[in-house]
Every structure is written in structure tokens, then in C-alpha cells.
Amino acid sequence: MKILSLESSCDETAAAVVEDGRKVLSSVVASQVEEHKLYGGVVPEIASRRHTEAICGVTREALEQAGLSLADVDGIAVTYAPGLIGALLVGVNFAKGLSFAAGKPLIPVNHLRGHIAANYIAHKELEPPFLCLVVSGGHTHILEVKDYTDFTVIGRTRDDAAGETFDKAARTLGFDYPGGIHLDRVSKQGNPCAYAFPRPKLDTPYDFSFSGLKTSVINLVHNASQKGQNLVVEDVAASFQDTVTEILCDTLMRAAQQLGYRTIVVAGGVSANSALRLKLKRACAQRGFELYVPPLNLCGDNAAMIGAQAYYEYRSGNTAGLDLNASANMEINR
């Protein structure tokens, strides 16, 4: 089954063709990041307008690269939630038009399910059940993936998402949006033990809270500048990154041990972080767990991951009518 998939939930307009959930026939991503950089973050209205301009060309290119016409695909998949509502609506409406015109089934895909499915593309042997950490710009979840379309969230952030925390700390240290990748790079030259940042104590076992950590980076930088002191940016970055990735890794390992999972999957933009990948690799090797992370080109937003998940949604009977709407805040298990 060949699925044409579309993604427009944030600042990437993407289209792909994926066969049977695992084989990418084409994948095209048009990023708007250079424009949003000017404002230090994604400006929702600009995002919607750029998606409107780009989506037709990106879709045409994805079909061309796959050597297919619209008539050759067996379904149209689209990210319908969660994300920026105006941005999502561009993809949803475009997908509806294609589905109507070509007479193909319309398959709605939750963006976070898509991030997890990026691993199915890269790791052909991977199948649920497994324990999964989703770390993106907007979400930080630990979930039990019981089947391809059966998810239970067992932990989540109570405030900022991991990616958001990276981006805010990076901005405080003077880096462009999105700053996660810059912090990752400069941390390689820094001392991760230079600063002790707080680790929150929560009364639920697998939840996260990153706002205190974010505030302490901001306070450190502001206090130093008020006193005219110079901070070693690489040391602050490395200490911050070490704290975030240690919290993520420790919590995930504890959950796996307590719930009896031996297969661990990581997904979302922050899964590109080199310190997180290294910590998880070591921790999983120590415990004899199998670790799956997406290749770097599938960590961030793309449509191939949406096409991968769409195959399993279709198999479970999850198609939509032409009254499909977008949703900014949909839970992954709904």
C-alpha cells in the first residue's frame, strides 16, 4: 500500500510517499526556520501562510521523486493534531482536497504517533510492544506503546517540554532559534560538571518538570551580566544539557525497569541530541535493553514518519471523512 503523506503542524511543510509503513519512496521537507529565526521562535500566522505557499509544490515533488501520479497512491495521510492550529488546517484542507479529487481514503495521523513511527522506517525489525520517550519542541512523554495504534501515557512534563527548554536556554545564551542543536554543538567543548542545576522532585514517578531548570539558567546568565562577570558559555551549555539528558535517561530507565520493558524507543526532535543518545546507549547496554533511536534525518519533523504511521492507522480502520478537522491539543491515545 502506497500512502501520500503530508505534514504541516509547525514550521516544516513536508510531503512523502511511503510503502507499507516501512519503505520511503520519497520525502520532501521545506523548512521555514530561516524566517522564524528573525523573531526568535515560530510566528503562527507566518507559518500558516508559508505552508499555503509551499504545500502544492512539495506534494508534486514527492510524487515526482517516487515516480508516481496521484492515481497510483492508495491513500492520503495528513497530520491533523497536535500543533499550531492554522498550520495544521493548511495540511488538513489540502489533504481533503486531494482525497476528494482522487477518490482515495483520507487517513488522519497524530503528529506524536508519527514521530514514534519514524523508528519503523529505520528499524525494520521493530514492533510494539515497547516503552517510548517522545521528546520534541512541544511534548515530553513516556509512553507504553502496546500496539501500533494503542498508547498509554505514563509520564509527561508538567510545564515546559524538553525541546522548549533547550531552545529557551539557548536563547538566553545568545543562540538563534531553534537553539537545541547549537547547545548540543557547543556542549562538546564544555565541562558538564561546571554548574550544578536543580533536579526537580516530583510526587509522581515518571513525570518531568523543566521550568525550574530553565529559570536557573536564565538567572545565572542575568546575575553574571549584572555583576559584569563573564560566563563560559560552553560550560553552562554542557552543564544544562547534562542535567536535562540525565533526568530524561534516569526516568526512562526507571520506568522500563519497574514496568518490565526491555525494548526502548526514543522519538522527536530532541532525540537528535548527542548527549541523550550516548547516555541512553550506555544505560541500555548496562541493563541489556534493546535501544532504538531514529537516524538524524528522521528525528525532526518530516512527512515520511506520518506516512509510516498512516499505514498502521489504515490497517486499524482509522480513516476520516471530509468533515475532518484539525486539533491543536489532541492526546496521543485518542
Q: Applying CB under 6 A, which residues contact ligand KG4?
A: 10, 115, 136-138, 163, 166-167, 178-181, 184, 268-270, 272-273, 300-301
Q: Work out what residue 234 binds among ligand KG4, Zn ion, none; the CB cut-off runs from 5 to 8 Å by kind.
A: none
Identify the residue whose cell numbers are 515526482. 64
Alpha-carbon distance 197 to 200, whole Å?
Answer: 10
Q: List the grid coordinates of 258.
A: 519497574
The enclosing H or E element of 250 equals helix 233-259
Q: Is 301 in the site for Zn ion (CB under 5 A)?
A: yes
Query: Any idea which residue has 548496562 for its cell?
Result: 286
In the complex, minimum distance from the CB of residue 18 to ligand KG4, in angstroms, rounded to a whole number: 18
180 binds, among ligand KG4, Zn ion, none (CB under 5 to 8 A by kind): ligand KG4
Give yes or no for residue 235 binding Zn ion (CB under 5 A).
no
Residue 229's SS3 state is: coil
Please identify, using beta-carbon distances, which residue of 3 and 88 lies nearer to Zn ion.
88
We find the least distance from the C-beta atom of residue 1 to ligand KG4, in angstroms, to be 26
Partner touching 167 among ligand KG4, Zn ion, none, CB below 5 to 8 Å by kind: ligand KG4
Residues forming beta bridges with residue 13, ordered by sequence position: 30
Residue 290's φ and ψ, nearest 5 degrees, are -90, 125
CB of 135 to ligand KG4, least distance (A): 8
Order across the sheet with 75-81: list the strands.
23-31, 12-19, 2-7, 75-81, 106-110
C-beta of residue 135 within 8 angstroms of C-beta of residue 268: yes
Which of these segments, 47-55, 74-82, 158-166, 299-307, binds Zn ion (CB under 5 A)?
Answer: 299-307
Closest separation between CB of residue 278 and ligand KG4, Å? 12
**What are 309's three cell numbers?**
504511521
From the list Zn ion, ligand KG4, none, partner contacted by residue 21 (C-beta under 5 to 8 A by kind)? none
What SS3 class is residue 189?
A: coil
Binding partner selected for residue 128 from Zn ion, ligand KG4, none, CB under the kind-specific 5 to 8 Å limit:
none
Binding residues for Zn ion, rule: CB under 5 A, are 136, 301
